[in-house]
């Protein structure tokens, strides 16, 4: 049974033509973001196969301005709804994973958070593990705070070291994901490449001081 789910998911990934999903009647299409396509190339987890509605599409109603959701059994059925209805009503409609937060793809590691200058102001984009796309996170109101480890550059050791910091709770206004999520925190921190000598198979643990 699990093999059937994986094979169906794999066939759907191969059906994407240059990152574009075509509806069944080939009249409509939806441009699949590159990061979403990379995440969907990964095999499904047990939670995604056991949950009947592991995906949903979110969009803003052009009539009421309210954010709406519609749940689906697979991402490909959700893309069909995006191409034929949701994306036509809202150009920012998105596919969201309910059961699995996705790590940032290897191609984009170390690039988030990304800061952009726009009209004299700085915009910060974070990786959202549920939307599988870069998003702008906003502070939760009323203000909430929590403690977590972040990577801080050490001039003495010439590398990043983990330190506990008090952080403000941020939220994605598309899916509701927050920076309290462990996948969010490790995806939006600096990545470093460690070099090993020839013959060394295991990395020695770094001691915290």
Digit-coded pLDDT (tens) for 140-174 = 999 999 999 999 999 998 888 999 999 999 999 99
Neighbours of 194 (CB within 10 A): 7
Helices (H), 137-199: 182-187
pLDDT of residue 199: 79
> Which 3 state secondary structure label does DSSP give 25?
coil
- How many CB atoms are closer than 10 A to CB 101? 16
Domain boundaries, the chain: 2-97, 128-192
What average pLDDT score do residues 122-146 get?
A: 95
> Is there a contact between 178 and 140 (Cβ–Cβ < 8 Å)?
yes
SS3 category, 115: strand
Q: How far apart are CA 134 and CA 117, in angstroms?
A: 16
- Whether pTM > 0.95 for this model: the answer is no
* DSSP conformational letter for 79: H
- β-sheet bridge partners, residue 70: 57
DSSP symbol at 85: I
Hey, which residues does 24 pair with through a beta bridge?
none
State the DSSP H helix or E strand holding residue 151, giving kind and residue range, or none if neither. Answer: strand 145-154
Whether residue 209 has pLDDT greater than 60: no
Contact 129, 177 (CB under 8 A): yes
| CA angle centred on 131, ends 130 and 137, rounded to 5° | 95
Cα separation, 129 vs 87, in Å, equals: 21
Distance CA 130, CA 178 (A): 10
Name the pLDDT band for 26 (thresholds 50, 70, 90): confident
Q: What is the pLDDT of residue 9?
A: 87
Q: What average pLDDT does the chain have? A: 91
CB burial readout 147-161, b (16+ within 10 A) else e: eeeebeeeeeeeeee
Note the pLDDT of residue 206.
62
């Amino acid at each position: 049974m699990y093999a059937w789910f994986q094979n169906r998911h794999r066939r759907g990934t191969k059906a994407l033509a240059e990152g574009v999903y075509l509806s069944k009647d080939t009249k409509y299409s939806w441009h699949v973001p590159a990061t979403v396509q990379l995440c969907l190339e990964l095999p499904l987890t047990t939670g995604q196969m056991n949950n009947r509605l592991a995906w949903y599409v979110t969009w803003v109603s052009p009539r009421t301005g309210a954010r709406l959701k519609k749940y689906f059994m697979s991402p490909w059925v959700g893309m069909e709804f995006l191409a034929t209805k949701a994306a036509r009503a809202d150009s920012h409609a998105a596919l969201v994973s309910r059961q699995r937060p996705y790590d940032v793809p290897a191609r984009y590691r170390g690039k988030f958070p990304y800061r952009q200058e726009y009209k004299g102001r700085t915009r910060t984009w974070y990786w959202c593990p549920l939307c599988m796309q870069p998003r702008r996170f906003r502070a939760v109101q009323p203000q909430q705070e929590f403690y977590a480890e972040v990577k801080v550059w050490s001039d003495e050791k010439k590398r990043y070291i983990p330190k506990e910091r008090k952080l403000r709770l941020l939220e994605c206004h598309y899916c509701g994901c927050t920076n309290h999520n462990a996948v969010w925190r490790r995806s939006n921190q600096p990545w470093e490449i460690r070099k090993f000598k020839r013959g060394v198979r295991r990395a020695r643990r770094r001691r915290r001081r």
